[in-house]
Amino acid sequence: MNLHPLDIGIVMGYLVLTMLIGFIISKKASKNLDSYFLGGKSIPWYILGISNASGMFDISGTMWFVSICFVYGLKSAWLPWIWPIWNQIFLMIFLAAWLRRSNVMTGAEWLKTRFGEERGGKLSHIIVVIFAIISVIGFIAYTFAGIGKFATSFFPWDLTTELGSVMISSENMYALIIMGFTTIYAIKGGMFSVVATEILQFLVMTISCFIVGIIAMNLVTPEQLNAVIPSGWKDLFFGWKLNLDWSNLIPAVKDKITADGYEFFSIIMMIMVFKGFLVSIAGPVPSYDMQRILATKSPRDAARMTGFTSLVLFIPRFFMIAGFTVLVLVYFSPKLNAMGPDIDFEMILPYAVSNFIPVGLLGLLLAGLISAFMSTYAAYVNAGPAYIVNDIYKKFINPNASNKKYIRMSYVVSLIVVVIGILFGLNIASIDSVTKWIVASLFGGYTAANVLKWIWWRFNGYGYFWGMLSGLAASLFIPLLLPNVSALNTFPVILLISTIGSVAGSLLTEPDNEETLKNFYSTVRPWGLWNPVYQKIKAEQPDFQKNTDFKRDMFNVIIGIAWQMSMVVIPIYLVIREWGQFAISVAVFIATSAILKYTWYDKLKD
């Protein structure tokens, strides 16, 4: 594709503007580590919410969403539960406040409030730093896989380069250039620069989303769409089996459904719900999502920030996803069918952008999509190194260094993490493969220990260490030992291994320090199996009351999932003009919003 000079100018101008904003604001980040990694805990919650939403608006995920919407239709709205996207609901209802009450900088430092400073606590501290770095490297590799494939589809230059005996493809060169550009301002400015640029990026991306949706509604009629989709494509709900027969339309799509293993959809959904519930209670992995929670001014603001993230993210994003999907279905189905079994479903989004967006708007859209990548990537670059600098270098190696020294070390560590992530990204087969590894295998290794840390008083630092270590090892090696088993199906195995490690590690060692347990329970105030600790606090503080909000929190979680789901399907129904379902979805959104106002928002407290 040959871009018009106007579109190239818009993209380049946007990139330069982003860089300028990052550098102008970077002075605020140079005061100390708290300013660099958490913005001094001075950024308003709604700004952090937009920043968090921008970080989640990644290009790799958008390409994946468009491909699954093409294949599975309205039922694709359930598939993000594999992540699960409603972990944000658990955060907004209770977990974000629990995390923020610790008043620390990183997830690893937070563990000190739970397990103390003795040997078990130190081991838990070290293992979560290792997990944080592995997960951030995995996410950087994930973004690398998406941006190169996307950029190659639009920019006209062949950048294939030979370095010594190594040939670097044009796709990878584009990824290296864009990632390098983003790395500069992300490292230089810390969270202040990341948040400021993400506000601009979210604005551009949101405008782009509505442009795409409107174009699709103008170019595609319901009759045209009905002619190219199988029966059941517009149905949100499902039976025991998926029952989407693409055989007479695009046979390769049927092969993809078989390869994904989603034919028995009810079984897949049961696994997703089981996994999703546990992963969500475990809390966010130690990356940018947790970082923004810890950067809020108060626990109440942390809860509001996570709720606002969902509110501003889903409707515009899925308006664009639905728009691209119907454009490709109607106008590109014959071409895709002609490809036979060689369809690359992750290229559906670039196909749509290339052929349906006019000059000028295309430049804006490309800037928006590139900004979606930049915001996600910059958030990871800012989040991961905090664990090495604050939790390893400052804690164990050089605790008395100057702030200037810590900031410089942050630059170096960020660069090293980026390089390692890129090296892994060069070896990724597809976005889909790394997505499933992250959300199933890696999260499987994280879940058991991080659920138990909230709900069981007897779970100690040794249990956390052995649970995380066994889970992390299982998430890395089981996919190699069982290459033909889907990542989702390996989750229960990895979870079982991690649970055994967690429980055995706790019961074979002494409980944590009593004062540490009492301080944690009285400060963070989780619900769960804490009665022995509660009784000891009650004996010292007769007025102390336990957290009795479990039933209300679970009720709000269910209402919140329905609230979030309505925001996913509202824009899809709007684009395909299913007015009855659209009206029902809007009614669900209004009703659930009203319920959450009274049962959640009005009851928030620090």
Q: What is the pLDDT of residues 116-163, one digit of tens each?
A: 888 888 888 888 788 777 777 777 777 776 677 777 777 777 778 776
List the one residue out of 561, 570, 586 whose CA is nearest residue 272: 561
In a domain, 602, yes or no: no
Question: Any idea what DSSP says for residue 306?
Answer: H
Claim to verify: residue 313 and residue 457 sit in the same structural domain: no
Q: Comparing 260-269, 461-470, 562-571, which segment has the lowest mean pLDDT?
A: 260-269
Which structural domain, as residue segments, surrounds residue 502?
429-507
Answer whether residue 49 shows pLDDT above 80.
Answer: yes
Contacts of 274 (CB under 8 A, 6+ apart): none
In a domain, 253, yes or no: yes
pLDDT score of 352: 78
Claim to verify: residue 334 and residue 305 sit in the same structural domain: yes
Are 145 and 372 within 8 A, CB to CB? no
Claim to verify: residue 423 and residue 433 sit in the same structural domain: no
In a domain, 190, yes or no: yes
Split at pLDDT 50, 70, 90, the class of 188 is low
Instruction: Give the span between the Cα atoms of 377 and 375, in whole angstroms.
Output: 6
Average pLDDT for the chain:
82
In a domain, 580, yes or no: no
In a domain, 592, yes or no: no
Write the pLDDT tens digit of every residue in 75-93: 999 988 877 888 899 999 9
Claim to verify: residue 372 and residue 493 sit in the same structural domain: no
CB count in 10 Å sphere of residue 71: 24
Claim to verify: residue 191 and residue 282 sit in the same structural domain: yes
pLDDT score of 349: 73
pLDDT score of 56: 75
User: Which of 52-66, 78-92, 255-269 is the most confident on average?
Assistant: 78-92
Claim to verify: residue 453 and residue 418 sit in the same structural domain: no
Q: Comparing 375-384, 433-442, 580-589, which segment has the lowest mean pLDDT?
A: 433-442
pLDDT score of 373: 67
Claim to verify: residue 363 and residue 439 sit in the same structural domain: no
Copy the structure tokens of residue 370: 């590139």
Find the mean pLDDT for residues 410-419.
79
Contacts of 72 (CB under 8 A, 6+ apart): 79, 233, 242, 244, 257, 262
Claim to verify: residue 329 and residue 273 sit in the same structural domain: yes
Are 329 and 225 within 8 A, CB to CB? yes
Claim to verify: residue 408 and residue 493 sit in the same structural domain: no
pLDDT score of 166: 67
Burial of 129 per CB tally in 10 Å (0-12, 13-18, 19+): buried
Q: What would you measure as the largest C-alpha separation in the chain, in angstroms?
A: 75
Write the pLDDT tens digit of every residue in 36-48: 555 556 678 888 8
Domain of 117: which CATH number? 1.20.1730.10
Answer whether residue 404 shows pLDDT above 80.
Answer: no
The residue from 412, 428, 444 where one domain ends is: 428
Amino acid at the residue 213: G
Higher pLDDT, 378 or 577: 577
Answer whether residue 554 shows pLDDT above 90.
Answer: yes
In a domain, 30, yes or no: no
Claim to verify: residue 357 and residue 435 sit in the same structural domain: no
Claim to verify: residue 379 and residue 484 sit in the same structural domain: no
The residue from 399, 428, 457 where one domain ends is: 428
Contacts 24+ apart (CB under 8 A), 27-31: 28/189, 28/192, 29/188, 29/189, 29/190, 29/191, 29/192, 29/193, 29/407, 30/190, 30/403, 30/404, 30/407, 31/403
In a domain, 603, yes or no: no
In a domain, 213, yes or no: yes
Instruction: Give the span between the Cα atoms of 404 and 577, in whole angstroms.
Output: 57
Claim to verify: residue 403 and residue 419 sit in the same structural domain: yes
Counting the structural domains of the chain, the total is 2
The residue from 428, 460, 487 where one domain ends is: 428
Split at pLDDT 50, 70, 90, the class of 337 is confident
